[in-house]
Structure 1
Amino acid sequence: MSSHDDKSSLGGVDVVPVTKSQAPGIDMGSIPETEDANTFLATHGTATYTEESNRKLLRRIDMYLMPMMCISYCIQYIDKSALAYAAVFGVKKDLNLKGQEYSLLTSLFYIGYLVAEYPQAWLSQLIMFIWGGILMCSAATRNFADIAAVRFFQGVFESALTPAYIIVTGMWFTRREQPFRVAIWYSMNGLGNAIGALISYGMGLIDGKLDSWRYIFIIEGVMTIVWSVVVFMIFPSSPMRVRWLTDAQKAQAVERIRSNRTGIINREWKWEQVKEALDPRIDPTGHIIFWACVLNEVINGGVATYKGLIIKSIGWTDLQSALFGIAYGAAVTIEIASCGYCAMRFKDSRHWCMIAWLLPSAIGMILQIALPTSNKAGRTIGVLLMPSFVGSLALCMGIPSQNTAGFTKRSVVVGMAFIGYCVGNIIGPLAWVSGQTPAYISGYTTCLACMADQVALFLLLRVYYARQNKKRDQMVIDGLAPDPMALDGDEFEDLTDKQDLKFRYTL
């Protein structure tokens, strides 16, 4: 095998050399250099299990882990969407927001999100308490400068949650199970919409000393702080360090994801894996995922910011608009969860699902442009179709945990995806012009263009993964690579997907 820089070619497949400390195989002398999973299994023994015991363990993991992730994600969405609900109840007028200042408030949130994503990731179990307090501070704002500062720091402290949950999902679930689980907790955006709508409706009925929108921030902030205490006490850091599994169940939880070949966690930061993730000549997938997330979140940034105003522009009253958020939230939940379920149910369908779930959104936006303002029913149906694109994002964000091996590399690619997520949300609201209501032509046309570009990127990603799998299969036939089904004890070595020729990409 000839070497060129940090990468070689074998049978048409790019292969990154493995250093001695990374070489496959486990022995007691190498355990200190391996992942915690290897150390755990070396001291607790390799677990064997039946299909029935696996189903029971999976149910237990789902019962404990998924509710915590779902509730936390739901609360996060409620909190970051509070501004959209507050807009319905007059925050723009009360704070004297002019021009694009309202749009800039959403962008500032995601600038904070972008700045703090990496530094805050390790504090994911603690920062909910802080952002709940910051959200409550929104109730005390008096002008654009006040609320701009609050939105920025709210973004700083909310930034850890989504990247952390992508990594956590990869720690606990097989690659087949992951798309649906990611879609489930991400679909809590929809439940957050519904609950946020109920809260805002209730706050709108209060005849108190404060403006209605100020109560929204106070109630939602208190709710976040209370839940943060539960998360801090219960949420596990890994399958090896969890209170609600026995040692035997912990070993089985580790063993059942052996075939992922993506590992669980590694405390060592490896710069060669950073280079592999960032250099498109070695692996272009991180950059494709980055741009796909940018394009998707350009759509989200605008729709999420102007959703309340779009609904109100159809002709609903303030309180009716708030109640309509319940139906909108239900649509979001169904559209995201169904996308994840189809990707799990039908083999090699992930990229086709990501493309298909863009289509209802495109139809919904075309209806907003084409239908007259008098067609209230048609425009309302269009609004309910619009959030379907989020299903595509949920699957796209899950790709790094399923198709990227090597803990450092996976962390970097997850980071790239969420940098794209932030950049898109920063740009998105700026494409929408308040004066264009009710037909936000610039916003809708920008979104439609982004959808078309995403289709091209998803097709490119699928073709790349399929070609890599085909080449590796041919290498096995030619005797140049090991059988991918063979379990040789190297499954929890911190090898990247380029170094590990047994690795196969999910489609």
Structure 2
Amino acid sequence: MSLPNNITNENEKSPAFANYDSRRLSTNSQGENQTTTVLTTLSDADEALAFLETHPHAAAIAAEGAAILEDPKAQRRLLRKIDLTIAPLLACVYFLQYLDKTTLSYAAIMGLRKDAHLKGQQYSDLSMLFYIGFLATEFPTQWLAQRLSRMSLFLGVNIMLWGVVLACHAACTNFAGLAICRTFLGVFESCVAPILVMIIAMWYKKEEQGQRISWFYVCNSLTQIVGGAVAYGASFAPKTGLASWRIFYLAIGALTVVCGGLVAVFLPDSPVKAKRFTDGEKVAALLRVKGNQSGTQNATIKKDQIFATFKDYRVWLICLATMLSSIPNGGISNFSSILLTTFGYTSQQALIMSMPSGAIGVVFVLFSGWLSDKLQDRSLVMFICIIPTILAGAMMIGFDPNGTPLNKSALLAASFLSGTFGAAFMLLLAWNASNIAGHTKKVTTNALTMVSFAVGNILGTQTFQQKQAPGYKSGKIAIIATLSALCFVIVGLRIMNDRLNKQNMVKRSSLSEEEQESMKDKLTFADRTDRENIFFVYTH
């Protein structure tokens, strides 16, 4: 949709949506008339404002949108339509992303290490190389995602490409080939989480975002169930012909390519561009989330918002929290199946025993998403997710101090509990969706978050040293230490968000009720950052 460079004639504005035009914003604060110019052109605003302002039938779609918002049943139907359009595709994408990057863990005990002649730290290095590719391309891929008008097409193409790369793993016979494939897998997967968080932020209210993010993030745990079952079945393949781990890679790669095609065709880029929705439904979808004060999209990269991101100390604390939660992930996601074999289970038993851990993860993620929305409190729920994994790390050390299992059942229970912390990272993503405004700032923050995710996972893969096998004591200690430190960072973030909410409340109190209502509407689609908007409310 092309945007006009400048619309200044008041008579040409659509009266139906004129109250959302933030190009001229008047207030009477401090006892005198003031006029604040927020925007100069529609292209500077959120794309939603351009859609509302330039629509040829503005009055008609305003009436249709208002009718939907005034009818509780119509609102529920609209939300159900949004869920059915967005949630299944996001869930499929995240399911395959996590499964695809953890296939190495399954393949390792299906014969990959022997067939590819891996020695010493080479397995850990392969785990690390995925995140090297991820880290190197996170900022470029987010820049492209913002600049391109078809974000869903960009995502779909990346998914298909990483599906092809995944299938290419089956042809590898040495470390060099696997290293190239793992690096490119990270390159093409780097765009996923930031784009999915952006989509959730533009379609859902803050009190709905935690649960919706849990719907796709739960697929991390589901992959442990499905991936373990598929790998277990493939392990019974005849020993002659193609190795079972090669069949595994080919099957999952083909499934990923199909999913990428579906995303490219069916996932809408934003409420404004959703083909399955009438224009009235688009208006209702936009206005139902106006209370977020975070808008939808803007293809213009704004340098001031980039600088604002780097100056926001909360963003750096989010990055630190992400890195601390990712260090255990880098170890557990790649070594969980191997650890089970060190506890005294066979390779086939280890594959099937990853399934209960996935089931526990499903419960924690879905419960955490629901509870954090109900309480509107992300930080408190994070502690519920983190503490069981800290206890699991302590049990692994206590019952297997030197690679000689003392209690096989206790170690299995610890393995089942080791993945609950993943729900805390899911809540950090929900925190980004709820607490960051300004499209460029959101993109930059999400990119920084995923860079921290990659750095943490790189460090995590190296905490499990081959020279410490089979005990891997340093990896277990790292789980306890990093998650304990994460608890303190979460408390700091909560305190800062509370302080900013109080500051905004004081600023709003200097305006009359009429001025507050007028400014709040005008800032809804102005594409301003959260720190520039006194009506923005931070979630704990």
**TM-score w.r.t. length of structure 1:** 0.91
- Mapped contact 1:24–1:493 kept (Cα < 8 A): no
**2:93 is the alignment partner of 1:72:** yes
Aligned residue for 2:442, secondary structure, equals: helix
1:484–1:194 distance in 2 versus 1, CA, 3 Å:
farther
Match of 1:358 in 2: 386
Match of 1:272 in 2: 304
1:233–1:478 distance in 2 versus 1, CA, 3 Å:
closer
Please point out which of 70, 76, 89 is paired with 2:110.
89
Q: Within 5 Å, which residues of 2 pair with 1:337-352? A: 337-347=366-376, 349-352=377-380
**2:70 is the alignment partner of 1:41:** no
1:240–1:503 distance in 2 versus 1, CA, 3 Å:
same
Deviates more, 1:105-114 or 1:321-330: 321-330
Match of 1:7 in 2: none
Match of 2:215 in 1: 184
- Mapped contact 2:25–2:38 kept (Cα < 8 A): no
- Mapped contact 2:331–2:463 kept (Cα < 8 A): yes
Separation in 1 of the partners of 2:182 and 2:486? 29
**2:423 is the alignment partner of 1:423:** no
Query: How much does 1:316 deviate?
Result: 2.0
Match of 1:11 in 2: none
Please point out which of 409, 430, 439 is paired with 1:407.
439
- Mapped contact 1:406–1:494 kept (Cα < 8 A): yes
Residue deviations 1:444-469 (CA, integer Å, cap 9, x gap): 11111101111111111000010111
The code of the aligned residue for 1:307 comes to S
**2:476 is the alignment partner of 1:444:** yes
- Mapped contact 1:335–1:387 kept (Cα < 8 A): no
5+ residue gaps in structure 1? 1-19
**2:320 is the alignment partner of 1:291:** yes
Aligned residue for 2:523, secondary structure, equals: coil
The code of the aligned residue for 2:388 comes to P
Query: How much does 1:325 deviate?
Result: 2.0
Residue deviations 1:211-250 (CA, integer Å, cap 9, x gap): 2211111111111112222111111111111122122111
- Mapped contact 2:203–2:285 kept (Cα < 8 A): yes
Match of 1:500 in 2: 533
Residue deviations 1:10-50 (CA, integer Å, cap 9, x gap): xxxxxxxxxx9866589998434322101222224443213
Identity %: 29
Please point out which of 117, 142, 155 is paired with 1:124.
155
Match of 1:136 in 2: 167
Residue deviations 1:157-193 (CA, integer Å, cap 9, x gap): 1111111101111111111111111122111001111
- Mapped contact 1:368–1:439 kept (Cα < 8 A): no
Please point out which of 232, 235, 243 is paired with 1:204.
235
Match of 1:489 in 2: 522
Separation in 2 of the partners of 1:456 and 1:273? 28
The code of the aligned residue for 1:355 comes to F
- Mapped contact 1:269–1:408 kept (Cα < 8 A): yes
Query: How much does 1:473 deviate?
Result: 1.4
Match of 2:77 in 1: 56
Query: How much does 1:438 deviate?
Result: 4.1
Aligned residue for 2:79, secondary structure, equals: helix
Root-mean-square deviation (CA, aligned residues, Å) is 2.1
The code of the aligned residue for 2:287 comes to E
Please point out which of 331, 347, 353 is paired with 1:318.
347
Q: Within 5 Å, which residues of 2 pair with 1:361-400? A: 361-372=389-400, 373-400=405-432
The code of the aligned residue for 2:526 comes to E
The code of the aligned residue for 1:146 comes to G
**2:206 is the alignment partner of 1:171:** no
Query: How much does 1:125 deviate?
Result: 2.0
Separation in 2 of the partners of 1:484 and 1:451? 43
Separation in 2 of the partners of 1:190 and 1:492? 36
Q: Within 5 Å, which residues of 2 pair with 1:105-124? A: 105-121=126-142, 122=145, 123-124=154-155
Name whichever structure is richer in helix by fraction. 2
5+ residue gaps in structure 2? 1-20, 27-36, 146-153
1:500–1:138 distance in 2 versus 1, CA, 3 Å:
same
1:131–1:506 distance in 2 versus 1, CA, 3 Å:
same
**2:344 is the alignment partner of 1:333:** no
- Mapped contact 2:232–2:348 kept (Cα < 8 A): yes
Deviates more, 1:160-169 or 1:24-33: 24-33
1:257–1:21 distance in 2 versus 1, CA, 3 Å:
closer
Q: Within 5 Å, which residues of 2 pair with 1:245-260? A: 245-260=277-292
**TM-score w.r.t. length of structure 2:** 0.86
Aligned residue for 2:486, secondary structure, equals: helix
How many residues are matched? 484
1:137–1:310 distance in 2 versus 1, CA, 3 Å:
same
Match of 1:305 in 2: 334
- Mapped contact 1:308–1:321 kept (Cα < 8 A): yes
Aligned residue for 1:488, secondary structure, equals: helix
Deviates more, 1:469-478 or 1:493-502: 469-478
Separation in 1 of the partners of 2:373 and 2:506? 27
Query: How much does 1:331 deviate?
Result: 1.8
1:451–1:22 distance in 2 versus 1, CA, 3 Å:
farther
Query: How much does 1:397 deviate?
Result: 1.9
Indicate the structure (1 or 2) with the bigger Cα radius of gyration: 2
